[in-house]
Chain A
Amino acid sequence: MSSVRVLVGTRKGAFILMSDGKRKDWTVSGPLFAGWEIYHMKGSPVDPNRLYASQSSSWSGQVVQRSDDGGATWNAVSNKFAYAGVPGTHQWYDGTPHPWEFKRVWHFEPSLTDADAVFAGVEDAALFKSPDGGATWEELKGLREHGTGPRWQPGAGGMCLHTVILDPSNADRIFIAISAAGAFRTDDGGKSWKPINKGLVSQYIPDPTAEVGHCVHHVAMHSSRPNVLFMQKHWDVMRSDDAGDNWHEVSGNLPTDFGFTIDVHAHEPETIFVVPIKSDAEHFVTDGKLRVFRSKTGGNEWEALEKGLPQKDCYVNVLRDAMAVDSLDKCGVYFGTSGGQVYTSPDAGDSWAPIVRDLPAVLSVEVQTLQ
């Protein structure tokens, strides 16, 4: 029988939530790495027992943990992320040049075909790859060196490479996104990169349609349609039908189009989910109501999903990597909040229930569908 394993990263440790395919009764294990920030955990699609966790703290920096038994035991692997060559400078908040400095891993993306290969998106923005399960890391320097790097600038959360999407139909194609530089694509396995931000309009930057400088919060793709991308930008929900070459807005009737997370239904590539956040000044949901918005039309037409979610006095945020979907039938949707709740919907968003209510602030949620 199928089961699901939900990997939750929080401000003060990691948690693993397990359930059978009904997704009604849950067991909670943790905290793992108690007291540390866990920006992200993710499992290999090739070997679901192979998990990676990004563990960090202001005191002791970055640690990378790996489990080979589905999270029962963990061992630290290499945390040596050295930029290739002389890393040069990007722009600081005030526009002055600032040297590239490694701070943390925001996102792990395990290879779709090799259990030992994994990508790491890091702050200050760069993409690293390990061919050996995290024993060594090497930067794919073509991204940072393709030419626009000196113009990249940190967002409020730092200059982080937070999104890595591997194209299941083309091993040479990778999409990444950086706050606040934008989205980028390689078509040659990471040797060369180009910005893919045409169509993005950001009123808060000097040139609203600049090639780079956009605060992309997250990008999502359905594996069956790798040329169709959905983006939650700082403001605006966007869509591309040509692998990021051109974007158009699909915010439609959302109550606000600011937000962080976005995801795609596992079986319906035109069904997408966002959690609108009031504004860049007020990072919580609107009107005290926690509502997921779902579009079954690939954007523009959105419906509020609120059954089982708090509809008064709720002021939480949902961060960019804190939503995930399982591949069961019906598709399960999961998200975690800054208030420490992890909610699940076993019916593609129609109804919701909390799995846990009182974890530390949730930074990331990933789910594995296990057979």
Chain B
Amino acid sequence: MTDAGATKGGPAIRVALPYHLRTLAKIESAEVRLEVAAPVTVRRVLDALEARYSMLGGTIREYGTGQRRAFMRIFACEEDWSHESMDAELPEPVAAGREPLLILGAIAGG
């Protein structure tokens, strides 16, 4: 199983990725764990994610604009964060590593 997360110090942020992105990044575990400095935001989590898994660049947010791709959705503590600012501080359970940040492919298409 791919190491999904040994981190140094501080709580590890848990990130759950959709199947296709786990496959692309050759991640065999259900979640990855990332070290993210406070304040923990979506932007910082994605920065850390793409730093570790460079092949995920451009797959969740667009190059250039940095905006979330239209069919990718982001949930935290059962709330839809897709339309929140990328710089908004995520809920404490996510920042503390008790809850995962969920990145999902929207149910779209046929």
Measured CB to CB, the residues of A under 8 A from B are 34-36, 57-63, 75-76, 79-82, 102
Q: A58-B71, A58-B108, A82-B64 are in contact. List 13 more A-B contacts (CB 8 A).
A: A35-B19, A35-B20, A36-B20, A59-B18, A59-B72, A60-B20, A60-B21, A60-B24, A60-B69, A61-B58, A61-B62, A79-B57, A80-B63
User: Across the interface, do A63 and B24 meet the contact criterion of CB distance under 8 Å?
Assistant: yes
Residue of B nearest to A64 (CB): B55
Those of B22-77 within 8 Å (CB) of chain A: 23-24, 54-55, 57-60, 62-64, 69, 71-72
User: Across the interface, do B71 and A59 meet the contact criterion of CB distance under 8 Å?
Assistant: yes
* Interface size, chain B (Cβ < 8 Å): 22
Shortest beta-carbon distance from A17 to chain B in Å: 22
Kindly state whether residue B9 has any CB partner on chain A within 8 Å.
no
User: Across the interface, do A63 and B69 meet the contact criterion of CB distance under 8 Å?
Assistant: no
Q: Which of A61, A76, A82, A102 contacts B69 (CB 8 A)?
A: A61
Q: List 9 A-B contacts (CB under 8 A).
A: A59-B71, A60-B60, A61-B58, A61-B62, A61-B69, A76-B54, A76-B55, A79-B57, A82-B63
Measured CB to CB, the residues of B under 8 A from A are 18-21, 23-24, 54-55, 57-60, 62-64, 69, 71-72, 105-106, 108-109
Interface of B (DSSP majority class)? loop
Asked, given contacts A35-B20, A82-B63, whether A58 binds B55 with beta carbons under 8 Å apart, the answer is: no
Shortest beta-carbon distance from A136 to chain B in Å: 13
Q: Which of A34, A35, A61 contacts B59 (CB 8 A)?
A: A61
Interface of A (DSSP majority class)? loop
Q: Which of A60, A62, A82 contacts B72 (CB 8 A)?
A: A60
Shortest beta-carbon distance from B72 to chain A in Å: 6
User: Across the interface, do A60 and B105 meet the contact criterion of CB distance under 8 Å?
Assistant: yes
Residue of A nearest to B59 (CB): A60
Across the interface, which residues of B come within 8 angstroms of A82, CB to CB? Answer: 63-64
Across the interface, which residues of B come within 8 angstroms of A60, CB to CB? Answer: 20-21, 24, 59-60, 69, 72, 105
Across the interface, which residues of B come within 8 angstroms of A75, CB to CB? Answer: 55
Across the interface, which residues of B come within 8 angstroms of A62, CB to CB? Answer: 58
Shortest beta-carbon distance from A66 to chain B in Å: 11
Q: Which of A76, A80, A102 contacts B24 (CB 8 A)?
A: A76
Asked, given contacts A35-B20, A36-B20, A58-B109, whether A63 binds B55 with beta carbons under 8 Å apart, the answer is: yes
Docked complex Cα distance between A57 and B18 (Å)? 13
What 5 A-B pairs have minimum CB-CB distances, sorted nearest first?
Answer: A76-B55, A60-B59, A59-B71, A59-B105, A79-B58
Across the interface, which residues of A come within 8 angstroms of B18, CB to CB? Answer: 59
Docked complex Cα distance between A82 and B65 (Å)? 11
Across the interface, which residues of A come within 8 angstroms of B21, CB to CB? Answer: 60
Most chain B CB inside 10 Å of its own CB: which residue of A35, A36, A58, A60:
A60
Residue of A nearest to B72 (CB): A59
Shortest beta-carbon distance from A64 to chain B in Å: 9
Residue of B nearest to A57 (CB): B20
Most chain B CB inside 10 Å of its own CB: which residue of A62, A63, A102:
A63
Across the interface, which residues of A come within 8 angstroms of B24, CB to CB? Answer: 60, 63, 76
Across the interface, which residues of B come within 8 angstroms of A34, CB to CB? Answer: 23
Across the interface, which residues of A come within 8 angstroms of B62, CB to CB? Answer: 61
Shortest beta-carbon distance from A86 to chain B in Å: 12
Docked complex Cα distance between A57 and B105 (Å)? 11
Residue of B nearest to A76 (CB): B55
Docked complex Cα distance between A61 and B69 (Å)? 8
Across the interface, which residues of B come within 8 angstroms of A61, CB to CB? Answer: 58-59, 62, 69
Across the interface, which residues of A come within 8 angstroms of B60, CB to CB? Answer: 60
Most chain A CB inside 10 Å of its own CB: which residue of B19, B58, B62:
B58
Q: Which of B23, B54, B57, B69 contacts A59 (CB 8 A)?
A: B69
Shortest beta-carbon distance from A61 to chain B in Å: 6
Shortest beta-carbon distance from A169 to chain B in Å: 37
Docked complex Cα distance between A82 and B69 (Å)? 16
Shortest beta-carbon distance from A57 to chain B in Å: 7
Shortest beta-carbon distance from A239 to chain B in Å: 40
Docked complex Cα distance between A75 and B64 (Å)? 23
Shortest beta-carbon distance from B23 to chain A in Å: 8
Residue of A nearest to B18 (CB): A59
Shortest beta-carbon distance from A266 to chain B in Å: 36
Docked complex Cα distance between A75 and B26 (Å)? 10
Q: Which of A35, A59, A79, A80 contacts B106 (CB 8 A)?
A: A59
Residue of B nearest to A77 (CB): B55
